[in-house]
Amino acid sequence: MRINRVGALGALAALTLTLAACGGGAEGTASGAPAAPMTPAPAAAAADGVTTNEDVFGPACSQLPQGEAPGSLNNMGPQPVASAASTNPLLTTLVTAVGKVDGLADTLNSQEAITVFAPYNGAFDEVKKALGNRAFNELLGDQQQLGGLLSYHVVPKRYDAEGLAEAKTVTELAGGQVTIGGTAAAPTITDGQGNTANVLCGNIPTDNATVFVIDKVLMPAG
């Protein structure tokens, strides 16, 4: 399935101002997630961006199930990214949104090597609060806009945190770029609207992707 690039997201115009006013921290999000990743820093991973459980870092990683339970690192690792995300308790709203776009989950699962910036549940709560229930539901019902917005969170190349920090700028699957700031131990992602997201749990390995759970929904420039 080819994912169409979208232009300006008219329904999100009001949201742009709201997100800019919120800044880059997560203190204002509904679930009160920590604002920035803490130590330990991620270990250096392979040059192809493939990570292991030992490379995972961030303050929200402790919220993942343990052992072999669904949503644990051991459980997600062998699965392709959309299937892995479906069991991650931090990403239930994202999974619901992906399911609204016909074929998107299959497209993500079929990619060979990608990086996914995955907004946690509280990030979508902020979008819903800013837009209002009606506009938010309209966005969820518009496959073209929603598909483009979600695809703006996917990089068609696999990076670990160190690789992102070195790259500085990466191009998204839907087109458009995001800017990487900070360090490999505490990377930030700045979208096309100038909003900055922090990594809550990064370097999560799945079969075909490295995943970074972030505290903002990224917005393309237009």
Q: Is residue 136 situated within a structural domain? A: yes
Q: Any idea which of 22-26, 65-69, 138-142, 201-205 has the lowest mean pLDDT? A: 22-26
Instruction: Give percent of the chain with pLDDT exceeding 70.
Output: 79
Does the pLDDT value for residue 170 go beyond 80? yes
Q: Is residue 38 situated within a structural domain? A: no
Does the pLDDT value for residue 5 go beyond 90? no
Contact indicator for 215, 186 with CB cutoff of 8 Å: no
The strand pairing partners of 12, in sequence order, are none
CATH code, domain with 122: 2.30.180.10
**What total of structural domains would you count in the chain?**
1
Q: Is residue 200 situated within a structural domain? A: yes
For the stretch 127-156, pLDDT in tens is: 999 999 999 999 999 999 999 999 999 999
Residue from 88, 91, 93, 92 nearest 77 by CA = 88
Q: Is residue 17 situated within a structural domain? A: no
For the stretch 80-111, pLDDT in tens is: 999 999 999 999 999 999 999 999 999 999 99
Domain span including residue 75: 59-214
Q: Is residue 182 situated within a structural domain? A: yes
Give the mean model confidence (pLDDT) for residues 52-73: 96
Give the mean model confidence (pLDDT) for residues 182-189: 96
pLDDT of residue 18: 33
Q: Is residue 148 situated within a structural domain? A: yes
* Predicted TM-score (pTM) of this structure: 0.80
Please state whether beta strands 114-119 and 209-214 pair in parallel, antiparallel, or not at all (unpaired): parallel
pLDDT of residue 17: 34
Q: Is residue 50 situated within a structural domain? A: no
> d(Cα 217, Cα 83) in Å, to the nearest integer?
20
Q: Is residue 134 situated within a structural domain? A: yes
